[in-house]
Amino acid sequence: MPPSPYTSLYVHVPFCNRKCDYCAFYSLGHADPDLRRRYLDRLRDEFDANAGLCAPLDSIFIGGGTPTALAPGEMAELLHAIRTTFTLAPDCEWSSEANPESLTPEMAAVLAEGGVNRVSVGVQSFIPHERQAIGRRGSLDRLADSLDCLRRRHVDNLNLDLMFLLPGQTPDSFARSLRQALDLHPTHLSAYALTIEEHSILARRHPHQPDDELFVTFWDTADRLLATAGLQRYEISNFALPGRRCRHNDDIWHGATYLGCGPSATSFDGLTRFTQPHSLNAWLHAEPPERDELPPPQRACEILAFGMRTLQGWNFDDFTARTGFDALDLRGNQLRQLRQRGLITLSDTAAAPTRDGLLFNDDLLIELI
């Protein structure tokens, strides 16, 4: 199969108000206006160079870093560049990440007027000492007002990010965070287990030994409490009201193509993955991306495995349409073994993870890739 047009766009904003202690994403804790100016100019060049490779975009996701660390005028410029360079599908889902302290009324207005229709806010925990333990700064005092400000501007598709297995966190304190999140009426909620990355600040002061039993307790707490508000798990770490899944991520988990712009951003054309330099300076100087090339059958196995992060798994006709391969021809023996282990359900037409298959998803990845 030849490379396919990009159907989604990811833009990496590498700036933060302050880098959190657990963060291993490429970001800079501070950048002066001149550096942000150079970033926006280079980004516009990257948009222009790749727009012809894109189909009408089904989704856009602006992540980071912290996109709302840009000044409102800079954010308005970025959104205008996207809107005027690319063709958007009529129902394009346009997401931006935000931090509570930088989601001001002015920024909310810029996002709404610029075309963003979905906002994901990084809360991580509502418990002050848990936020401090992971180096999360800023107050949540204005969060409810900020979300209301978005809703008044007809941006009502709102995600809150929470984390569990934080230092000092208990299932009871996690439940308090979940209840406080639900009081804000999000349409989507992400609940991620903390992973202490080797080169993060947190790794230097907090040796972390995963506790599978505690992990399951947190997992079940999220399922139980979020279901009371109609938020159902649809992926390892993600919950949504009906019709409010994150389309951008859902499509990527199922092998869709995407263009990534900005330092460290990744693109995928259906065959090859390209990753931009993990350095703002190298990216500003247009150093070439790294290429991850796999034989088509191996790439198809990877797509099969990542679709099994989601509760729906794969309809095999959809998988064949996406990759050109038959899933049972590629990994039939492995799929049958996973069914025997109780990790997936399997029929002639589809496969999907069970609860244990989601809980222990690494086992599926190992077998299927």
Start-to-end CA distance of the chain, whole Å, equals: 20
| Cβ atoms of 26 and 278 closer than 8 Å | yes
The 8-class DSSP code of residue 321 comes to H
* Mean pLDDT in residue range 283-287: 97
Please check the confidence at residue 203 and state whether its pLDDT lies above 50. no
**Angle formed at CA 60 by CA 57 and CA 61, multiple of 5 degrees:** 160
Give the residue extent of every domain in the chain.
6-253, 295-369
Which are the contacts of 208, defined by CB distance < 8 A and separation ≥ 6?
Answer: 165, 194, 196
Architecture, CATH, for domain 6-253: Alpha-Beta Barrel (3.20)
Task: HSE, CB side, 13 Å, CA atoms: give it for residue 144.
Answer: 8
Burial class (CB within 10 angstroms; exposed 0-12, middle 13-18, buried 19+) of 47: buried
Phi-psi region of 73 (alpha: psi -120 to 50; beta: other; left: phi over 0): alpha
Distance CA 14, CA 264 (A): 9
| pLDDT tens digit sequence for 97-152 | 999 999 999 999 999 999 999 999 999 999 999 999 888 878 899 999 999 999 99
Q: Which of 104, 112, 110, 173 is nearest to 141 (CA)?
A: 104
Distance CA 248, CA 6 (A): 12
In this prediction, residue 197 carries a pLDDT of 57
Distance CA 245, CA 227 (A): 15
| pLDDT tens digit sequence for 292-351 | 999 999 999 999 999 999 999 999 999 999 999 999 999 999 999 999 999 999 999 999
| Cβ atoms of 101 and 131 closer than 8 Å | no
* Mean pLDDT in residue range 185-204: 77
Question: What is the domain class of 295-369 according to CATH?
Answer: mainly alpha
pTM value is 0.94
Q: Which of 150, 149, 224, 161 is nearest to 194 (CA)?
A: 161
Helices (H), the chain: 33-50, 72-85, 105-114, 128-133, 143-152, 171-182, 201-205, 212-227, 247-253, 280-284, 296-307, 316-323, 327-340, 355-359, 361-368
